[in-house]
Amino acid sequence: MATMTKWKVQLFKLNYDQREKQAVSDVLDSGWITMGQKTIDFENAFSSYLGEGVQSIAVANGTAALHIAVLALGIKAGDEVIVPSQTFIADLNAVRVCGAIPVLADITNESDWSMDPIDIESKITEKTRAILIVHYAGYACDMDAIMKICEKYKLPLIEDCAHAPGADYKEKKLGTFGDVSAWSFFSNKNMSCGEGGMVVVKDPALYQSCKNLRSHGMTVASFDRMKGRAVSYDILSPGFNYRMDEIRAALGLVQLDKLPESNGRRKELTQRYFKNLSGIPQITLPFKYFNRGEASYHIMPILLDANLDRALIIDKMREDGVQTSIHYPAIQGFTAYKDIVGETPKAMLVSMRELTLPLYPTMTDSEVDLVCQSLIQAIGSGKVG
């Protein structure tokens, strides 16, 4: 029977303390654990944090947020949506389950893995109905260029902000540029609720459409009926059960309060990685010279030289007790997508050579140093042949 690896440095650890425990306990003591006042409070707090007159809708997870965003914009079978090539598969899944066709746009270059605005524009056809971007690793895309493209072709923009809570572009918070933004509060995200997500919009009509999709198209929530504010309800349109519960909303409120400090610590750790790993010829450090705003430093990705055996390096670091990951495998290799997406050479190259190092707010400087030492030693033994 296989034994579980005992990590010296995990890829991620929760930034939880007594505040999260107390928040959950308060919800349990309240006797109401499905969507209610805590969820409303979380939505309002998140909207206030982002500013720009946005409204927020708490949902079950980030994929639900993306699905709602695509549906609310009226994307249907046969439509095309330009999507990132360097991303988690949820972006494409949200488009595909609506019957639409995802069209991949490549990254900018080996040092900047954000979507390339030039490639985005080159992929626009008469069937294009929206552009979906991701702020990979919490670093803003070139929003000036992307917004000009959206305006030129009159295309709505969806921002996938799963990596980007707290990040900005020229002092304007990410998630406030597009027609809709989708957020994830999965366990390893900058705001960790286990599961959970948020849909953020400005337009009142679009807000109502997203809200209807969240909860069966119902006009009145269970919480309102429990409070005696209504006895029945109408169904305005078909919808889903994509609601957030009170426990996750309570966790989200605490995590939102911690976000500035935790992102600040992520930045310090990232800068230490940059310092420790700079000058090593077998490694490229993407976003090292990023200057488009303040990042959220969600993950610590590096690019290995082509002559290195990534699998061997992962194994060597595992032997040292250091956990690593890959963000992300090439979409072109997935069975569900290999026959319907085109090539994106720069992103495909990154997918074969990317390695994600541990990064989380409670990580210590000495743990960063340990990871770097393990990586450098592994590189010494990781050459092909």
Chain centre distance of CA 133 = 11
- Sign of the torsion formed by the C-alpha atoms of 323, 328, 333 and 337: positive
Cα–Cα distance between 240 and 40 in angstroms, integer?
19
pLDDT at position 218 is 86
Contacts 24+ apart (CB under 8 A), 270-277: 270/297, 270/300, 270/359, 272/365, 272/368, 272/369, 273/300, 273/357, 273/359, 273/368, 273/371, 273/372, 276/368, 276/369, 276/372, 277/302, 277/372, 277/375
Burial class (CB in 10 A: 0-12, 13-18, 19+), 66: buried
Least Cα distance to 129 among 104, 155, 109, 107 occurs for: 155
Burial class (CB in 10 A: 0-12, 13-18, 19+), 244: buried
156-185 tens-digit pLDDT = 999 999 999 999 999 999 999 999 999 999
* pTM over the 0.85 mark: yes
pLDDT at position 363 is 98
**Residues near 331 by beta carbon (within 8 Å), at least 6 away in sequence:** 85, 87, 89, 92, 104, 337, 341
Tokens representing 371?
A: 């990871």
Burial class (CB in 10 A: 0-12, 13-18, 19+), 93: middle
182-237 tens-digit pLDDT = 999 999 999 999 999 999 999 999 999 999 999 988 877 655 555 656 666 887 88
36-52 tens-digit pLDDT = 999 999 999 999 999 99
> What class is the 18-256 domain?
alpha beta
**Residues near 315 by beta carbon (within 8 Å), at least 6 away in sequence:** none
What ranges make up the beta strands (E) of 171-316? 172-173, 180-184, 197-201, 283-284, 300-304
pLDDT at position 1 is 45
Contacts 24+ apart (CB under 8 A), 253-257: 253/23, 253/38, 253/41, 253/42, 253/45, 254/19, 254/20, 254/23, 255/15, 255/20, 255/185, 255/191, 255/192, 255/193, 256/42, 256/45, 256/46, 256/49, 256/191
Least Cα distance to 298 among 192, 143, 147, 373 occurs for: 192
Cα–Cα distance between 146 and 150 in angstroms, integer?
6
Tokens representing 349?
A: 């190259």
Tokens representing 223?
A: 């919480």
What residue ranges do the domains of the chain occupy?
Answer: 18-256, 259-380
293-308 tens-digit pLDDT = 999 999 999 999 999 9
pLDDT at position 382 is 58
**Residues near 23 by beta carbon (within 8 Å), at least 6 away in sequence:** 250, 251, 253, 254
pLDDT at position 237 is 84
Cis ω on the peptide bond leading into residue 153 (within 30° of 0)?
Answer: no
Residues counted in the chain: 385
pLDDT at position 383 is 63
Tokens representing 92?
A: 């494409």
Q: Which CATH superfamily is domain 259-380 in?
A: Aspartate Aminotransferase, domain 1 (3.90.1150.10)
pLDDT (mean) for 286-291: 98
pLDDT at position 385 is 39
Q: Is the pLDDT of residue 331 over 60?
A: yes
Helices (H), 73-169: 90-96, 117-122, 143-153
Which segment of 131-135, 148-152, 188-192, 225-229 scores lowest on mean pLDDT? 225-229
Catalytic residue numbers, as ranges: 189
62-92 tens-digit pLDDT = 999 999 999 999 999 999 999 999 999 999 9
pLDDT at position 317 is 97
On average, the pLDDT of the chain sits at 95
